[in-house]
Structure 1
Amino acid sequence: MVVVGGGIVGLSTAYALTRARPGVSVVVLEKEGGLAAHQTGRNSGVIHSGVYYRPGSLKARYATGGAAEMVEFCREQGVAHEVTGKLIVATAAEELPRLAALAERGRENGIPVTELDAAGIREFEPEVTGVAGLHLATTGICDFPAVARRYAELAREKGAELRLGTEVRSIVRRSDGVTVRTASGELRAGVLVNCAGLHSDRVARMAGDDPGVRIVPFRGEYYELAPHRRGLVRGLVYPVPDPAFPFLGVHLTRGIHGDVHVGPNAVPALAREGYDWRTVKLRDVAETVRFPGTWQIARRHWRYEVGELHRSLSKRAFTAAVRRLLPAVTEADLVPAAAGVRAQAVARDGSLLDDFAFAGFDPADPGSARRVVHVLNAPSPAATASLGIGREVARRALAALDAGG
């Protein structure tokens, strides 16, 4: 079994494979020199409760159970974590219907939700201003890169092999297996599992499959509060999200190491690993521009994106967005922090895939593609739900192995 991708989903899959079938041969290929180098290592570290996700969706199913499971894993494995709770704050009256809808959705998903007035908000966060809010007690924070490394260690203890600095160059599907070629040679396996994140669509095409989607990268740019101003925020504070766009807006996150992240915004990245405006890869830009879904996104969301670009290029505008939640903050309080890039899967009609998406072999469909399993979309809360996602991908991969003989 070959797993492509050494992020939290690929490593949780390797861990699940070695648990589900002791003795199975598992090799993880990661093109970077270290694990969890991209999405896993560049997020705000939040263990999401599942309040945002449509009841019955994979996101809702995996996140609501995954939050408690992740806390238990961190406790058992000695990974830094804390159950902090979270506030979602409405700053204007027009946001109240959306806040009420979120509260109802949370209850449908089985999440304890406490509705707050302005005074109730101040009890949790004295410096935060809003007209109403929700408190979610089950949200927490952890060190997700450390979780990923622990998955790797546990998988390695059961015989899995991790090959770093090993980029996949080509994939050949055969009736009896898959041949994966890298710069250092070739590897033959019964099944290939694609957990390549920002490059998942490319790996799918490399394997001979049309994924039906394209990864369009969006960069999330963060600031953090200067050390002497961290006391402005006690925990996690989020705005009421816009349901028309799959990003949560600028929020405040006290991390597991005491830092307070502010952000992110969401702007088009000029490379799949484009963590700043200076990083441009012509191949990545050309693929994005040629894809019809990109222009559909631009047509539907251009007003929203103009605002995001303005906040990217103007610290004053970014600060103004933050001040809606945290009036005491000033431009001088915000220090640039590392950015992240979200691997957003987009369909040809411009629709943004909101849920987890798998392709390749499906045990419920005997006619599905053999010898491969693809994870095509694993947005937040993938890290929170990584144990459950890993088990599901492992289930599909082992079924593919058994079906192939």
Structure 2
Amino acid sequence: MYDYLIIGGGIVGLSTALSIHKQYPYAKLAVVEKEQSWASHQTGRNSGVIHSGIYYKPGSMKATLAKKGSESMVRFCMENNIAHDVCGKVIVAVNQSEKNNLNQLYDRGLQNGLEVERLSREELIEIEPHVNGVEGIRVPSTGIVDYKQVTEKLAELLSKRGVNLLSGTKVKNIEEYADEAIVDTSHGTLKTRFLVNCAGLHSDRIARLADIYTDLKIVPFRGEYFKLKEEKSYLVRNLIYPVPNPEFPFLGVHLTRMMDGTIHAGPNAVLSLKREGYNKLSFNAKDAFDVLTFDGFWKMAGSNMKEGLLEIVRSFHRKSFVKSLQRLVPQIQEKDVIPTHSGVRAQALLKNGQLVDDFFVIPGKRSIHVCNAPSPAATASLEIGNVIAGKVPDIASKISI
């Protein structure tokens, strides 16, 4: 019998396990992950950015936890000798029509308690000499890190604390009772006094196994990246972001220096017909059925049809993808980019067609379900873990030591 069982071996699941164990060091914990390694999906396939929190609605969990999380993530990296770089980023208005949205973003940064700097064109060029922009803002607290390394360090720390790390173990069924949850897995049955669902792309399905029914469904969006050829890396010093389109729910392609020095460009946002579909033609019948029979998807698609079609074009037509990069850095040519990794974002969508715009946590009988944790969840992961640890019952006080 475990005291706490966490489902999901990404950065949020392992951060949550660490926070719970710090709070209740005598409790018996386990983490269950269906893959053989940690951070196999969202965590290990993102842009590696330590986000500041500038984009998010003031007072939201995303805004609050991204700001706190960026600080705690940097501390964690320093304490554990994990390579990282707080290099800052620029957000660029490429023409006069974007200046109003840039100003609103600047004000939002101040509301979220961030240090933000206005940049004239001349100041922008000093920071990123090859950028195209009439004005910009700089966010000094933005950084970069390899989140897979962070997750592997979390697993190492948990193992040293005696937490059972059960990789290669898939959850098949859950039954909740008044004082325990019974979890059937591919390697036998586990019992726990309390269950925490951090299953990312499959978090809604895990919730349904525990008889948690809502009008929320995870809709997967694939984000594809290119990288600049090494001889063109000089075109980007650190991170260059566009002013977001307020009529489209995703940020838009941007340019990011990775920890290995390569420059990655992307991601776009294309509906994936497989929750773990990292290739353009990836398909899973169950995943596709779940999306295409969901009223919320068609309502969302109808209101974002124009941008959605452009995203599909950029996915299959490299020249169109490069054209979107040239808005930020005109010198990038089609021959300068090569395909690299892709990721899938687990985005929660409501039946009315609205994207869930914040982290979303649902309580069960003997469980908590983290059912929406897309970007900036990696940045905020240590703080999300603290929030969840504060919500779980104090089972440890009932344990005789």
Normalised to the residue count of structure 2, the TM-score between the two structures is 0.97
Higher mean C-alpha deviation, range 390-399 or range 24-33: 390-399
Q: State the one-letter code of the partner of 2:389.
A: A
Corresponding residue number in structure 1 for 2:309: 306
**1:285 maps to which of 255, 270, 288:** 288
- Find out whether 1:252 has 2:255 as its counterpart: yes
Sequence identity, in percent? 46
Corresponding residue number in structure 1 for 2:174: 171
Q: State the one-letter code of the partner of 1:238.
A: Y
Cα contact 1:9–1:390 (8 A) shared by 2: yes
Corresponding residue number in structure 1 for 2:376: 381
For 1:383 and 1:151, locate their aligned partners in 2 and report how far apart those are by CA, in whole Å: 13
Q: State the one-letter code of the partner of 1:327.
A: P
**1:327 maps to which of 317, 330, 344:** 330
- Find out whether 1:210 has 2:213 as its counterpart: yes
**1:103 maps to which of 86, 102, 106:** 106
Q: How does 1:1-400 map to 2 (within 5 A)?
A: 1-360=4-363, 369-399=364-394
**Residues 75/323 of structure 1: CA separation in 2 closer, same or farther (3 Å cut):** same
For 1:402 and 1:180, locate their aligned partners in 2 and report how far apart those are by CA, in whole Å: 23
For 1:34 and 1:57, locate their aligned partners in 2 and report how far apart those are by CA, in whole Å: 32
Cα distance per residue 1:226-257 (max 9 Å; x no partner): 11111111000000012233321110000111
Cα distance per residue 1:13-71 (max 9 Å; x no partner): 11111111111111100000100000000011000111111111111111112111111
For 1:402 and 1:383, locate their aligned partners in 2 and report how far apart those are by CA, in whole Å: 30
For 2:392 and 2:34, locate their aligned partners in 1 and report how far apart those are by CA, in whole Å: 21
Q: State the one-letter code of the partner of 2:272.
A: A
The total of aligned residue pairs comes to 395
Cα distance per residue 1:93-133 (max 9 Å; x no partner): 11111000000000111111111121111100001110110
For 1:141 and 1:87, locate their aligned partners in 2 and report how far apart those are by CA, in whole Å: 14
User: What SS does the corresponding residue of 2:15 show, helix, strand or coil?
Assistant: helix
Cα contact 2:177–2:365 (8 A) shared by 1: no
* 1:270 Cα deviation after fit: 1.1
* 1:351 Cα deviation after fit: 0.3
Cα contact 1:372–1:400 (8 A) shared by 2: no
Cα contact 2:361–2:369 (8 A) shared by 1: yes
* 1:401 Cα deviation after fit: 7.9
* 1:399 Cα deviation after fit: 4.7
Point out 4+ residue stretches in structure 1 off by more than 6 angstroms: 400-403
Cα contact 1:23–1:159 (8 A) shared by 2: no
Cα contact 2:195–2:367 (8 A) shared by 1: yes
Cα contact 1:221–1:265 (8 A) shared by 2: yes
Corresponding residue number in structure 2 for 1:363: none
For 1:65 and 1:171, locate their aligned partners in 2 and report how far apart those are by CA, in whole Å: 33
Q: State the one-letter code of the partner of 2:160.
A: E
User: What SS does the corresponding residue of 2:184 show, helix, strand or coil?
Assistant: strand
* 1:144 Cα deviation after fit: 0.7
Cα contact 1:371–1:401 (8 A) shared by 2: no
RMSD, aligned CA: 1.2
Cα contact 2:27–2:396 (8 A) shared by 1: no
Cα contact 1:191–1:401 (8 A) shared by 2: no
Higher mean C-alpha deviation, range 198-207 or range 152-161: 152-161
For 1:136 and 1:398, locate their aligned partners in 2 and report how far apart those are by CA, in whole Å: 38
Please list every run of 5 or more consecutive structure 2 residues that lacks an aligned counterpart in the other structure. none
User: What SS does the corresponding residue of 1:338 show, helix, strand or coil?
Assistant: strand
Please list every run of 5 or more consecutive structure 1 residues that lacks an aligned counterpart in the other structure. 361-368
For 1:373 and 1:47, locate their aligned partners in 2 and report how far apart those are by CA, in whole Å: 26
